[in-house]
Amino acid sequence: MVRTPRYFALLLLMVAVVLSSTAQAASLPDFRELAKNAGAAVVNISTEKTVQAPENPFGDMLRNAPQGTPFDRFFEQFERFHGKMRPQKQRSLGSGFILSADGYIVTNNHVIADADVIHVNIENETGKSASYDAKVIGTDEETDLALLKIDAKRQLPVLRFGDSDSLEVGEWLMAIGNPFGLDHSVTAGILSAKGRDIRSGPFDNFLQTDASINPGNSGGPLINMKGEVIGINTAIVASGQGIGFAIPSNMAARIIDQLKSDKKVRRGWIGVTIQDVDENTARALGLGEPRGALVGSVMPGEPADKAGIKAGDILLKVEGEDIADSGRLLRRVAALKPGETAKITLWRNGQTKTVNLTLGERTAEHLAAQGGTPRQTPESKQQASSSLGLTVRPPNAEEARALKLDRPQGLLVIAVEEGRPAADADIRAGDVVLSANLHPVNSTADLAKVVQEDAKRRGAVMLQIQRRGQTFFRTIPIEAEK
């Protein structure tokens, strides 16, 4: 057999492919030891709670009716719509992990919410499971965290929190839990993203991973290659695959420490409404680049009001830490304790200013939304702003009362032209324009002056809007003068 140069070239190519595959396989992480060591501290959580279910008056007739027959369907419908209510046990499953050798356990609040009985099942070295009754030490609904305690009468294996802030997208991660009730299932993937806001709560700042997370994984740990908990699995996208979310460990550790010491979470509060700063708003206020959190309104008598913070200020730093957006401000302030003094750096009238503020405490009463529906009545002296696409006029006394204004002030929006800048900025008929680029506007001439003399020079106008009792800002781009 004659071996041609083509033969040797093909042989070399095959060897290269084999060597490349071998090297690639060798570079993949090995999760065996990690799963074995970490898995010992992961627990199964089962709960029972009593719910009210309909009771069918036909009793045994329903239970004995042949399935699939008209009688069976009739009695089923009767029970559903006409039955009496009776107590019924409802069971659910979730996951958790042991945080201390004396039996403190971390899980999600939604796993144990309203439960009458909570059982924690721990697997020992021999693979056998022992069940313990758990006591709720504390819960935090806003971050979906809960701390439990069991008395195992022995030293338990534990997991430690790692530093979620130091994580980088692309790092290998491992999730352990009880998806669909299947104990100690291990999945692996990478960190897909950080800082995800999925609109589940005010402090959304989730880690996103493609490690498989399913119902029953809730409360279980997301672990880095050092065996540290860097996240607590809490949410999934029902319509997607490879998209799971975990509470960052740095946030969770602070909450759990408070639950352990105080059995509840106390959060700082400054008393403002806030929104993000976009490019147009930054341009209108001469800030340069979008950053910080824009103050929409200041609540009278609250800490921000006492410290001299005003609507239209942009909060740039808290205790020297840069604030990228409104979400970051909310989390940073909430992480501070009520009664502490915080140093806040803000932007006002083209300059930075620092104020010292004594924090209040965030409560449910503070978060109650304000209501009110504006009424519109005919009025003369209205004017259209052609550059913005708005028709506005001063409100009368009756309208001011309906709009929850302290007095007749600002400009009532009568109409918004479709496809024009104001419509694109979500300005609506019934809104009240209180200021433009932080200049009060109580007449159409006031608004026209700001647009002509200030907004066209800056390339944008920032309108302070009051809508149904809430105050915020909307920024409209304007072609700058050259």
* Residue 60 C-alpha from the chain's centroid: 48
Query: CA 194 → CA 80, 223, 229, 234, 347, distances in Å?
Result: 45, 15, 15, 15, 28
216 is in an annotated binding site: yes
Q: Is 237 annotated as a binding residue?
A: yes
> Pick the catalytic residue: 218, 297, 385, 435?
218
Pick from 454, 466, 457, 392: nearest CA to 422: 392
Q: State the chain's maximal CA–CA distance in angstroms.
A: 106
Strands 360-361 and 383-385: unpaired
116 catalytically annotated: no
With contact defined as beta carbons under 8 Å apart, do 302 and 311 qualify? no
Which residue among 46, 92, 95, 110 is the active-site one? 110
| CB within 8 Å of 379: residues ≥ 6 apart | 393, 394, 395, 396, 412
Say if residue 238 carries a ligand binding annotation.
yes
Query: Has 218 been labeled as part of a binding site?
Result: yes
Backbone angles phi, psi at 104, to 5 degrees: -80, 135
Of the candidates 188, 248, 264, 260, which has an alpha carbon nearest to the alpha carbon of residue 35? Answer: 188
Tokens standing for 424?
């694109």
Has 262 been annotated as catalytic?
Answer: no
Rounded (5°) CA angle 17-18-24 = 90
Task: Kindly report the number of other CB atoms within 10 A of residue 430's CB atom.
Answer: 17
Joined together, the tokens standing for residue 203 give 């402090």
Is 226 strand, coil or helix? coil
Question: Strands 341-348 and 351-358, how do they pair?
Answer: antiparallel
The reply to whether 60 sits in an annotated binding site is no
Three-state SS at 241: coil
Q: How many CA atoms lie within 13 A of 117 on its CB side?
A: 10
Among 40, 249, 239, 318, CA closest to 154: 40
The rounded distance, in Å, linking the Cα atoms of 329 and 170 is 27
Catalytic, 129? Answer no
Buried b / exposed e along 210-227 (16+ C-beta atoms within 10 A)? bbbbbebbbbbbbbbeeb
Q: Is 481 annotated as a binding residue?
A: no
Is 2 marked within a binding site?
Answer: no
The answer on whether 249 is annotated among ligand-binding residues is: no
For residue 377, give Cα distances in angstroms to 116, 385, 422, 429.
55, 20, 22, 12
Q: Is 40 annotated as a binding residue?
A: no
Among 140, 144, 278, 431, the active-site one is 144
Binding-site residues, in ranges, read: 48, 110, 144, 216-218, 234-238
Q: Which residues are catalytic?
A: 110, 144, 218
Binding-site residues for substrate, in ranges, read: 48, 110, 144, 216-218, 234-238
